[in-house]
Structure 1
Amino acid sequence: MAVFSGDWAFAFGVLGNIFSFLVFLSPLPTFYNIYKKKSSEGYQSIPCVVALFSAMLWIYYAFLKTNATLLITINTFGCFIETIYVGFFIFYAPKEARIQTIKLLLILVVGGFGGIVLLSHQFIFEGAVRVQVVGSICLVFSLCVFVAPLCIVRQVIKTKSVEYIPFLLSIFLTLSAVMWFIYGLLLKDFNIGIPNVLGFTVGLLQMVLYVMYNKKEEKDFVKEQNLPELKNHVIILHNDKNLPELSEEQIIEIVKLGSLISCTQKFDLALCMHENIAEDHKKQRKTMEI
């Protein structure tokens, strides 16, 4: 039974590696845009530095735990790719952002990770206690990492727009969380399993919001297409001949001109009738004189 459970754990660990690999590669379009424009353009380096720190912690935990090769493989790749991202950001970022990134690296990677390794390995903890303490640190930090996307969820609900949710990344994160949760459950390692419950919940919430607000945006778009707003009130005349488009101001001038022509015609008609009546009177006078 233990061998059977181990086989399933290995299978889900491999799947977790695959989906986590896709998650680690998801920022590539962002950094490609940075490379093309030769500027970081307001992008933040914090997610990359935090991901680097998290991967280093999990590698350390995997070495202490032993028999956790799948944790080592994916987090080694994570350290490699996140280091490239951070270096890329530092190269193209403005001076202030570059200094902030270097400070964050020193605080988390050098100070934080170095302090954890030094304290847990040399002074305080030994054996199974050391593994449990480092695992608890990984658990807490992973929970903090999974809580971060809740800011995106809040932004989506506030703006009712899905532009802040990368849908494919949400899918990969959710699937990755599911695989690592089952992997931790089969190995009875709650330090791996528990954080991924929150990861799955947040990823599922993002996808639900995406579907809900994406449909709303599509309906609004259809309404706008069916009932377009006329800003300049332009009237288009369709006829056999190609006629120019007339604006509201031009239409008003034409109506005024029409009214003027109509009044002129009425005046000419009245004048003509008056002249005819006067001429008839003259004829009648001449007839009487004769």
Structure 2
Amino acid sequence: MPSFAGITWVCDPVIQNTIGWAAVFAVLGLFASPIKDIWGEGGVFKRKDTGNLASGLVYFSSFFNCFFWVIYALGDLPRLLQPLVINVIGASLQLSFLSCYWYYAENKKECNIAFLGGATVALASAIVAYNQSSVTIFGTAAAVLNVIMYYSPLAAVGTIIKEKSVAKMPFLPLLMTLIGSSLWFSYGAYIFDWPCIIPNILGVMFGITQLGLYTYFSRAYPEDKLEAAKSPPEGDSTGGAISPTAALQSSPRKPYSSVSRRSVASVVRRQTRLVQPERAAAPLIKAIQKQNKGRTQLHKTAGAKSPVKGMVHAFKCSTAAVF
């Protein structure tokens, strides 16, 4: 029976299994969320490039986290059945993601260092566990790697702040991290297992922080505005059309993020009139010249037949032109 601070309680198998399997399904979504980024359309495998991912640390940390949890859970069955099931699935998925990322990564040195670091920790834990005849060391290592797994998405924060874009911080993994951490913390607290409690309470805090960053940057710097701000001008002063970005850059107005579409359109119209007045007025001038030429010809024809009728006709034409 678990106990804490002199308080002892009995774990109800129904409650334990309910929380445990709910946590399994929540973390399954977290483990499966990189499928789109790795194997999906436009992912690493299709594009043969890891440019859309800020860091591969999350795949290394997730794989070794699952590996240590499997060994730790095997030493405490059936109490840790749910952690065993989800981490066997997670290790398989993370191994496939890790292999694909490693193969197409430009900086393979970073990947090699991360893999060797994880392998070294695994070997050291195995030696200690063998000498002590206990798998507790694997639980401690799993807790540490669990914290790294929850922290690893924060590696992209520098890129997000620099580019003012959340494109490299997918929303679904952040949401599933918060939900999964909350459920696993509840599970660990109920059965009172420290390797479950410590990393997941930190995971809840990391999840809230990451979602806060995502919400702030997605609202303050929407992707469509960033794309418009990064696009080059589509015309110049020689007569081409001027893009909204070029008009705003040449106009002493507020930053693009605070300018409405109507303001952008008005700036474009004003800049177009200022930069290319002759070209804009050319069709109108030609039409007026053509109309005046036709009227002059009519005046001459009517005057040749009858001077009086010609004068009357000219007066009517001039009156029509004025009114």
Instruction: Say whether the fold is shared (TM-score over 0.5).
Output: yes
1:4-153 equivalences in 2 (<5 Å): 4=12, 6-32=13-39, 33-41=43-51, 43=53, 44-67=55-78, 68-93=80-105, 97=108, 100-102=110-112, 104-109=114-119, 111-121=120-130, 123=131, 125-126=132-133, 130-153=134-157
Are the equivalent residues in 2 in contact too, given 1:232–1:248 (CA < 8 A)? no
The CA RMSD over aligned residues, in Å, is 3.2
Note the alpha carbon deviations across 1:251-285, whole angstroms, 9 max, x for none.
4997xxx9xxxxxxxxxxxxxxxxxxxxxxxxxxx
**Structure 1 vs Structure 2: percent identity of aligned residues?**
19
> CA shift at 1:233, angstroms?
4.4
**For residues 42 and 149 of structure 1, do their structure 2 counterparts lie closer, same or farther at Cα, with a shift above 3 Å needed?**
closer
1:184 aligns with 2:188: yes
> CA shift at 1:222, angstroms?
7.1
* Alpha-carbon distance in 1 for matches of 2:63, 2:73: 15
> CA shift at 1:114, angstroms?
2.4
| Alignment match of 2:169 (pick from 160, 165, 172) | 165
Q: AA paired with 2:75?
A: L
> CA shift at 1:107, angstroms?
3.8
Which stretch shows the higher mean deviation, 157-166 or 197-206? 157-166
Are the equivalent residues in 1 in contact too, given 2:24–2:86 (CA < 8 A)? yes
Are the equivalent residues in 2 in contact too, given 1:56–1:75 (CA < 8 A)? yes
Note the alpha carbon deviations across 1:149-182, whole angstroms, 9 max, x for none.
3344565566654434322221111000011000
> CA shift at 1:104, angstroms?
3.7
Q: AA paired with 1:23?
A: L
**For residues 120 and 187 of structure 1, do their structure 2 counterparts lie closer, same or farther at Cα, with a shift above 3 Å needed?**
same
Note the alpha carbon deviations across 1:33-60, whole angstroms, 9 max, x for none.
2222233447544321221111111111
**For residues 91 and 158 of structure 1, do their structure 2 counterparts lie closer, same or farther at Cα, with a shift above 3 Å needed?**
closer
> CA shift at 1:12, angstroms?
1.3
Q: AA paired with 2:23?
A: G
Unaligned runs of 5+ in 1: 236-245, 259-290
Q: AA paired with 1:25?
A: A
- TM-score normalised by L of structure 1: 0.69
Are the equivalent residues in 2 in contact too, given 1:57–1:138 (CA < 8 A)? yes
Q: AA paired with 1:118?
A: I
* Alpha-carbon distance in 1 for matches of 2:280, 2:31: 65
Note the alpha carbon deviations across 1:204-246, whole angstroms, 9 max, x for none.
22223333343334697573423217468444xxxxxxxxxx5
Are the equivalent residues in 1 in contact too, given 2:11–2:190 (CA < 8 A)? no
The alignment of Structure 1 onto Structure 2 pairs a total of residues equal to 237
Structure (1 or 2) with the larger CA radius of gyration: 1
**For residues 81 and 217 of structure 1, do their structure 2 counterparts lie closer, same or farther at Cα, with a shift above 3 Å needed?**
same
> CA shift at 1:247, angstroms?
5.8
**For residues 9 and 106 of structure 1, do their structure 2 counterparts lie closer, same or farther at Cα, with a shift above 3 Å needed?**
same
Are the equivalent residues in 1 in contact too, given 2:129–2:136 (CA < 8 A)? no
1:250 aligns with 2:277: yes
Work out which structure has the larger RCO, using CA pairs closer than 8 Å and 6 or more positions apart in sequence. 1
Are the equivalent residues in 2 in contact too, given 1:178–1:196 (CA < 8 A)? yes
Note the alpha carbon deviations across 1:96-117, whole angstroms, 9 max, x for none.
62x65355434423x3212211
> CA shift at 1:62, angstroms?
0.7
**For residues 41 and 233 of structure 1, do their structure 2 counterparts lie closer, same or farther at Cα, with a shift above 3 Å needed?**
same
Q: Match of 1:55, SS?
A: helix
> CA shift at 1:29, angstroms?
1.7
Q: AA paired with 2:89?
A: F
Q: AA paired with 1:75?
A: N
